[in-house]
Structure 1
Amino acid sequence: MSDLTENLNHKKKPLVPKFIYLIGFILILALCAGYGYWATASSQPTEEFSQWSKPVPVRVVAVERRDLSVELKAIGTVIPAHMVNVQSQVSGALQGIYFQEGYLVAKGQLLAQIDPAPFKVALAQAQGTQQQNMAQLRNAETELARYQLLFKQDSIAKQQVEQQQALVNQLKGQIQANQAQVDAAKLNLSYTKIYSPIAGRVGFKQKDAGNLIQANEEAGLVTVTQVHPIYVQFAVAENYLDILRGASSQGQKAQVSAWDKADQKQLASGQVQALDNQIDLNTGTLKLKAVFDNRDDALFPNQFVNIRLNAHTIQDAVSIPSDAIQHGAKGTYVYVINTQNKAEIRIVKLGVTSQGQTEILTGLNGTERVVLEGIDRLSEGHEVQIVKENIKATSTRSATG
C-alpha cells in the first residue's frame, strides 16, 4: 500500500511546473504584442489637433467715412394745437344741436341754438325804453330852444334856461344808457347761437336738445380740438442742449419723425417748433415741441408716440457698427484685420452713436477692416478666416446680369 501511495505522489508532482510554464508563456506573448503595438505607434509621427490653433472664422466690415446723423430717441405725447371747451354765455333752453360727434367743423360753424324768445323780449323792452327817453329828449330840446329865445328877449330868468339845459343833458345821458341796454340785449340775443371758435374736431356732446343750459357752465357743451396742424411734446437729455440751441439760433428747424408705439411704423414727419425756457430739475431733461401737418390724421390728441430727432449731422465722420466695439481693461478697442489676415487690437476713442453706428474720433483712419462677428475666440496676432456673406446672392445677381 505504501508503494502505491508513493507511486501516485510521484506522478502528481510534474503537473505544477507545467502549469506555471503555460502562464509564463502567455505573459511573454502579451508583452511581445504590447511592445509591437508601442513600437508601431511610436514610429508614426504624432499629429496635434487643437480647435484654438486653427484660423478663426470671422465676419468683417469696412470702416466708412460718411455723414453721420445724430438721431435722438424719445417718447412724446400728441397735443392739439388749440383746444376749446365750448360754453354758453347765456342761460336758456337748448333748442337744437347742429354738429355730429367726432367730426370736423369749420371756424364759425353753427354748433347749437338756445331758445331766443326771452332775449328778443328783453331787446324789445330796452328799445321801448330808449324810444321813450328819446321822445322826452326831443321835447326838452324844443323847450330849451324856446327858453333861450325868451331869454334873449329878456322875458325869463337865466335860471330857467340853465335848468332846462340840465334836463336836456340828463336825458342825453339817459339815452346813452338806453343804447347800452339795447346793445347788451342784442349781444345776449346773438349768444343764443353758439358757433365754433376754431376749426377742428368736436368731441362728445355734454347736453342734449331740450335741456336747460347755464351760462359759463364748467362742463360746457362740447370740446373742439385743432388737429391740423398738431403738436408732439417730448423731452431729451440736457447733454444735447448746445446742439439744439445752436441749430435754433441759426434759424434751422431740426427734423422730427413720429413712429407708432411699437416703433415699427412711421406715422408722420415734422420739425421742432420750440424749446422750453428751462431744464426740468427732477429729470434733467429739456422739453421740446414739434409741429406736424397731420393732414392724414395719423396723429391723435393724447396719443403716445416714439420720436426720432435728427439733432445734428457730422460731416465725413469715421464710423463703424456699434457691435464691433469691445470694452476691456485697456479701454475701448476693436479688432482690425491686417494684410496677413491676422487680428490686431486697436484702441479707439468714441464719439456719438446713432442708428447703430458709432463715430470713431481716434484710432482708425477709415481704411481698415474691423471684426464684427467671431470676436469671442480672437486674440492679438491670431489668424482669421474671413467669412464671405451673400455669396449665393452675388452669384445669382451675376448670372442674372
Structure 2
Amino acid sequence: MGRLATKLAKPAAVASILAVSIMAMPGGAGKLRRQPDGHSGRRACTPRCGGARKGLANAGIQVGGAYYAEPFYNWGGIDQGGEYMGVLELYMDADMKKLGLWDGLCFHANGFQIHGNSITGANIGGLMPVTSFEALPATRLFELWLEQHLFNDTVSIKVGQLAADEEFFAADGGGFFINGTWGWAPIAAENNPGGGPAYPLATPGVRVAVTPTENTNVMVGVYNGDPSPACAADDPQICNPHGLEFELDDDPLLMIEGAYNYDLAGGRLPGTIKIGGWNHFGDFVDNRVDVGGDLVVVTGNSGKPLDNDHALYIILDQLLWRVPGSEDAQGVGMFLRFAAPPTTGTWSTSTLTVA
C-alpha cells in the first residue's frame, strides 16, 4: 500500500464488493485459518515439533518454516502475461517457563523472504492485491512479541512488534480464499497511514484478550499508528524495507473486537459473530467533501479536516449444512463481513461470501 501522505480519510471512496462462492468447508467456522499468516496464528507455548526438532521442542523452543509459491497468468487487464511470487516464512516460538522464567510467558518471532513480482502491480493495477501474499521483494522481520497468559488462560497480554490483521477484522471463512480482500479489508488498508499494521508490516503495540466464557472473547489492541517512517519514496514497504523500524511517535490506532461462538441445530452447525471497530487518533483530511460539504472532485478544494479516522464492522461465520456423520463439521458454510465509518451512514466496504 502506498503511504497516505496526507492521511486521507475515504468514507465513501471504496466501492461496495459482493462476491459469492461455494465449496466444501472442512471445519467449523471458528476453526479455520486465515492466509497468509502461516504459523503465526498458533499459540506460542504449544510445541508442535518432531524429528530433528524434537529436542528443541522438549526444551521449550519451536522452530520451523513454510514456503508459499504462487504463479499467475493474466489474460486481460493492463498487461497480459505471467508472474511468480514466492514467500519463505521462518518462525521461532518459545515456552519461557521451560527456559527458566515463569509460567504462561511465550515468545514468538517470524519473518519473510519475499521474492518475485506482483501480478496486481505489473499486469492488473487493482486497488487490492489478487493474492494476500503480494508484497515488494524483501527480507523482513514481521512479528516479534512476548505474550503472558493469566488466570487459567482467560486473559492474555501481548506486547511487541504486532500486526493487527493477525487477530482483528478477520472472517475465518476467508481462509479458503487467496484474494487480498478477504484479509485486511480495503476500508482498513486505504484509510490508515501506511496501510495500517498488516502484512507485511507490523508495528509496536499491546493487545489484551479476555475470554470470560468458552463462547465469548473480547480483544483490545493499541498500536503505533503508522508502521513505517516517512521517506522520499512515499511507500511504506520501501520506507521500512526490512521491518526493523520500530516507530513509537505516531498517533495511536485503537482496535476493539468482541466475538461470540454459538451452535445451531443441536450443536451440529457452529457459528461465530464478531463486532468491532477502530479509531485512529491522528489528523486526517476528508477525501470526499470540503469544509462547505461540497464534493472535492467538483470544487477542487482541499478536503475537510478530520480529528480522527474510525469505522465499525460486523462479521458472521456460519456452517449451513453438515455432512451426515462428520465429526469435524465438514459441510457448506458462509461468511459475511460489513464495515462502515459511522459518521457517513454509508456502507463503504461490504463483502458477502458463501463458502
Question: Shared fold by TM > 0.5?
Answer: no
TM-score tier, shorter chain, comes to under 0.3
> Of Structure 1 and Structure 2, which has the larger fraction of its residues in helix?
1
TM-score by length of 2: 0.17
Higher RCO structure (Cα 8 Å, ≥6 apart): 1
Task: Flag the structure with larger Rg.
Answer: 1
